[in-house]
Structure formats: C-alpha cells, structure tokens
C-alpha cells in the first residue's frame, strides 16, 4: 500500500478518527497495531505471518534477557540476534546465494530463486535487533522499565514498535530505546499541526512532484537503452537520478515523520540536507541518519570503532560500509556501492590523520562538488544492479560525446531536479540568516499547488525493495 494511494488515505483517515475518539482512548495502541497490520498485509497477506514471527522472536528473547536466568542472559540475546540475521539472510540473500554459488542451476537454486522478498524486512529485522541488544545491555531499560513484567503487555508494545505503519515499509529505522518510552495515551489537543502540515506537504511534494516525474526520464538509464544517448544526456540523467533518489527517500521519511506526529510519536530526522556535504563523513551524518547511527552504534563501535589504532579503524570502516551496502539489496552491486563509500571514508580518514589543510569557502565549494559528484557516481550501482552495465554506462559517457543531445530529457531533468537544488540552497541561506521563516507558508502553498496539478504517475518508493 503506497502512501500516495487512495486506499492508504482511507485507512489513515479512519484510523485517525477512531484513535482520538474518547471511547477508544484506552485502545489507541490496539487501533494502531490493527491499522499497521492491515497496511502491511494489503498487497501480500501471507507475508504478515513473517512479520508476526519476527516480532514473536524479539518479544520472547528480549523479555527473557531481562527476566530469565542471569547466567543465560548472553546466550538468549545472542540467539535473538542470530535469529533476526537468519530471517533477513534467508528471505533477502537466498537468491543471491543461488545466483553466485549455484549458478542458477539445480532444484535447490530454483527453490531459492522463488523465495519472495518481503517489503520492509531490512527495517523491521534491524529494529528487532535493536530491541534485543538494548535489553541485553540494560543501558536504557533497567532503570526506566521499558520491558514490563507482563509478557502480554510487552508483546503488545513490541508489535506496535516494530509494525507502526509510518516507518514499517521503508524507515526511518527506529531504536527501541528511542521509541518505547513514547508509548502512552495521546490527546488531540497536543498535535503540533504546523509541524505535521509542513512535513506532509514537503514530503509529498518531493515524492509526487519531484521523484515521480524524474523517474520517467531517468528510466532511460537502464541497459541497453542508455547506449543511444549522448555523454551530456547520460550525465544529466545521472544527476537527475541523484536528485530522484534523494527526493524519493527523503520524501518518504519526511511523510513518515509527519504522520507519526499526527498520532503523537516522534521519529528522528532521517535526512539533513546531505548534498551540501563537503566530506564523506559529513554526508553519512546527513544521509539516511537512522541507518548511519544504527550501523555506528550496533556494528562499528562493537567492532572497535576508532579505539584500536588507525589500521583497525580503516578496516572497521570498510567492514561496516560493506555490510551496510549489502543490507540495501541482494546483489553484489550494493556491496560494491558500500565498499566504494567505505574506501572513500577510509581515505578521507587517512588524509585527515596525516594532513592539516585550512578550510576556506573556496575549498568547501570544491570539496562539496567533489563529494556530490562521487556520491552521484555511486548511485549507478543502485540503478544498474549488473556491474557490467555500470561499466558500460561509464564507457558510453566517455565515448558518446559526438551523439546528439536529447534536449527534451535534459530540460525536464533540470526542471524537476531544481527543487532539490533550491531546497539545499535555501537551507544554506537560512543557516547564514539571510532569509527568515515568515515566507515559509508561501513556499508550502506553492508546493501544495504543484502536488495537486503536476504530480507524476505513481511509483513505488525506491527503498521499498530494501
């Protein structure tokens, strides 16, 4: 069920009305759980069983980590994490295993290739891991009692945490210690309407006007279509895809944040104007923040972080980004994309460890252009999952300079990418206090107008596949 579909808006409206009726005030969590399960089961009801099975594993293991035998605490937590990883690996990476090691041949390979990829599985398994590890560490739960003595109550809270529909399909990735303390009765009078309105308008504008229109022109980046286009056309498409993937994913996250706030829940910001970054480390502090912080807290730091010497730091960065890339999809192109960023981060870290260069406005601009260019280049591994097609695309960029430019595609990509450019420019202007917020509603009114008259054809969110 897409956030842009009529069926979703009906579900949202009915849930919202019932949620704030005094008669249902004690059943708010139950209503949101029911709505979330309907939302998830709408397209493929059978996959709801997997979501509930995953939730059950995390309910049981996190509960007995806290209330089970003290000497079994570590093994129970380890079992919970392993179960989550096994579920994710089986459903997401079995086809990759069949293609890589079995060469798509044999009955086992055929069986593995037919395993469905449940939408959102990468997100809800990571959230389950967060719950189990947080319970084991007792870092957040021991004093605040976020895991109640009642197993039934804990089950209800956990299912709600994992299935809450604004984040269920494509994030942001929630951490148990951030979300569970928020679970309590909510009131209509406490809604921050200004916050909700701005986030929903901005999110839907980025998704429906920017991303959904750009997809019709970046479509030609597929193999072998791109071979017929000029170098400039191909570079423009790559720029457009960079803007599209930002508008698509940031749009989804901003919509999710606005919707969660309608029901009284706060999600962390998932994007913070990433394309103004002047370094790769800054980019990853601004892009997909919930994933970056998850990988840092639950993988990079446990591996040793930067506490065990420079060489180990570089290795930890490469491992973290390799696995982070593979998390995005069941193809080696995603692992290469992650490794690409891991190498960039390691080189950047090596450079900063050994050289001290004074930062100026000019160097910041040059670094910003350089980082954006390499980040955009990396998105090729998202668009073209076949590595050979990526190489062919770059070959055509280098060789097709004499081809006639496609003026229509170039014009429309620049047109629909411009909101992403201005979005980042306005942030810089506000940061420098050149503009004020008194004109905000003019911009939101314009965005609403374009949502109504110039939305592209509906398309699934790019990150649904993850």
How far is residue 347's CA from residue 355's CA, in Å, rounded to a whole number? 12
Identify which of 124, 176, 184, 149 has the alpha carbon closest to the alpha carbon of residue 63: 149
Tell me the C-alpha distance between 260 and 238, whole Å: 33
Radius of gyration of the CA atoms of the chain, in A: 23
Our answer to whether residue 167 is catalytic in this structure is no
Write phi, then psi, for 253 (nearest 5 degrees). -60, -40
Give the dihedral sign, CA 264/269/270/273. Answer: positive
Q: Choose, from 154, 328, 341, 424, the residue flagged as catalytic.
A: 328
The helix-helix angle for 28-41 and 151-163 (nearest 10°) equals 50
Q: Are the C-beta atoms of 345 and 336 separated by less than 8 Å?
A: no
Residue with tokens 């890589």: 100
| Residues 197, 310: Cα–Cα separation, whole Å | 46
Residues classed as catalytic: 328
């Amino acid at each position: 069920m897409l956030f842009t579909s009529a069926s979703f808006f009906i579900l949202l409206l009915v849930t919202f009305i019932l949620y704030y009726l005094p008669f249902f005030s004690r059943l708010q969590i139950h209503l949101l759980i029911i709505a979330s399960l309907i939302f998830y089961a709408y397209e493929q009801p059978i996959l709801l069983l997997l979501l509930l099975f995953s939730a059950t594993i995390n309910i049981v293991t996190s509960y007995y980590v806290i209330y089970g035998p003290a000497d079994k605490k570590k093994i129970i937590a380890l079992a919970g994490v392993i179960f989550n990883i096994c579920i994710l690996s089986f459903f997401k990476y079995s086809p990759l295993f069949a293609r890589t090691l079995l060469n798509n041949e044999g009955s086992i390979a055929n069986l593995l290739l037919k395993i469905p990829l449940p939408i959102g599985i990468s997100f809800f398994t990571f959230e389950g891991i967060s719950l189990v590890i947080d319970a084991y560490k007792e870092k957040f739960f021991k004093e605040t009692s976020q895991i109640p003595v009642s197993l039934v109550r804990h089950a209800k809270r956990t299912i709600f945490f994992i299935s809450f529909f604004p984040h269920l399909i494509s994030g942001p990735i929630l951490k148990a210690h951030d979300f569970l303390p928020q679970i309590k009765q909510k009131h209509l009078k406490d809604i921050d309407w200004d916050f909700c309105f701005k986030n929903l308008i901005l999110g839907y504008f980025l998704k429906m006007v920017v991303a959904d229109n750009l997809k019709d022109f970046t479509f030609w980046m597929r193999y072998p279509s791109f071979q017929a286009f000029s170098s400039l056309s191909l570079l423009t498409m790559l720029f457009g895809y960079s803007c599209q993937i930002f508008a698509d994913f940031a749009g989804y996250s901003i919509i999710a944040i606005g919707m969660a706030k309608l029901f009284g829940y706060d999600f962390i910001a998932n994007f913070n104007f990433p394309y103004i970054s002047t370094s790769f480390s800054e980019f990853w502090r601004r892009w997909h923040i919930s994933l970056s912080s998850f990988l840092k807290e639950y993988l990079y730091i446990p591996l040793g972080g930067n506490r065990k010497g420079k060489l180990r730091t570089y290795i930890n960065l490469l491992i973290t980004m390799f696995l982070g890339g593979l998390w995005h999809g069941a193809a080696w192109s995603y692992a290469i994309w992650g490794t690409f960023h891991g190498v960039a981060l390691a080189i950047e870290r090596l450079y900063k460890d050994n050289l001290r260069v004074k930062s100026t406005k000019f160097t910041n601009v040059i670094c910003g252009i350089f980082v954006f260019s390499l980040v955009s280049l990396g998105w090729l591994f998202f668009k073209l999952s076949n590595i050979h097609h990526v190489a062919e695309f770059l070959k055509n960029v280098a060789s097709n300079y004499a081809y006639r430019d496609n003026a229509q595609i170039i014009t429309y990509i620049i047109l629909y990418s411009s909101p992403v450019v201005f979005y980042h420019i306005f942030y810089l202007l506000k940061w420098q206090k050149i503009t004020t917020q008194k004109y905000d509603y003019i911009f939101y009114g314009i965005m609403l107008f374009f949502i109504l008259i110039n939305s592209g054809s509906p398309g699934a969110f790019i990150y649904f596949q993850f």
